[in-house]
Amino acid sequence: MSAIVADGHHLAPAVLYLVRHGESTGNAERRFNAYDTPLTPAGLAQAQRLAERLAAEGPFHALYTSDLTRTMQTAAVIGARLGLQPVPLAALRELDTGDWKGTRYADLEARDPGALQRWIAAGGVERLPGAAGESVCDVRARVTACLEELAARHAGERVIAVSHGWALGILLACVQGLDPHETFRTQQLRLGNTAVSVVEAHPGGPRRCLLLGCTAHLDPAPSRPSAASPP
């Protein structure tokens, strides 16, 4: 682990385990997830496997989570196994799909053919309809600020952050120096349920991706193919 110097002091990087939640009912039902979408039984089983993996790769100093139900439930399983209290952070929430929340993909397609495909093809530049709807830029601003805050707060420590597929894909694009609009357009950073990515982040300095989207802890019993769906 390398260190950088700030104000004459050597600052070791934070090592951040960025994990997606387990399968939710919204994933299974092919819906845009709403705030209170819980985990399915399969999602809870995935979270338990994830917790065992993290226990083997610890120790960890802190556990953060998006404050949405599916991430809070995933973090609760992890926290119970690791003896850590999950700390909710709204900055880790999923991209808010505005008026689309709770809508089945098939129903949106019937109502407005091609709407989702057009939005993704444009790189998520436009905010989704509705007062709360977000764009890729909106999410990039808050998740990168959150990463910087956690790196500064936990220099030299190892922490876990439980978040969502789109939010983490946008963050990981930025960590790797990629254009998040382009990676969103191509969906090249789609993450499976409970996928683990590891980022080394210096406070106020460089960052690098050490592991990307690993779901080895789910083998040999793969999850349902929900990774390709909007989280």
| Residue 191 contacts residue 169 (beta carbons within 8 Å) | yes
Which residue type is seen at 195?
Answer: A
For 155-187, give one letter per residue: b (16+ CB within 10 A) or e: bebbbbbbbbbbbbbbbbbbbeeeebbebbbee
User: CB of 29 within 8 A of CB of 172?
Assistant: no
- Please name the residue ranges forming H helices in the chain: 25-28, 41-57, 69-82, 105-111, 115-121, 136-153, 165-175, 180-186
Compute CA 53 distance to the chain's CA centroid, rounded to the nearest angstrom: 17
Q: Which of 124, 126, 65, 125 is nearest to 93 (CA)?
A: 65
Output the six-digit token pair for 166: 């789109």
In the set 94, 164, 200, 217, the catalytic residue is 94
Taking alpha carbons only, the member of 16, 15, 69 closest to residue 47 is 69
User: Is residue 94 annotated as part of the catalytic site, yes or no?
Assistant: yes
Among candidate residues 21, 181, 202, 217, the one labeled active-site is 21
Distance CA 201, CA 209 (A): 9
Active-site residue numbers?
A: 21, 94
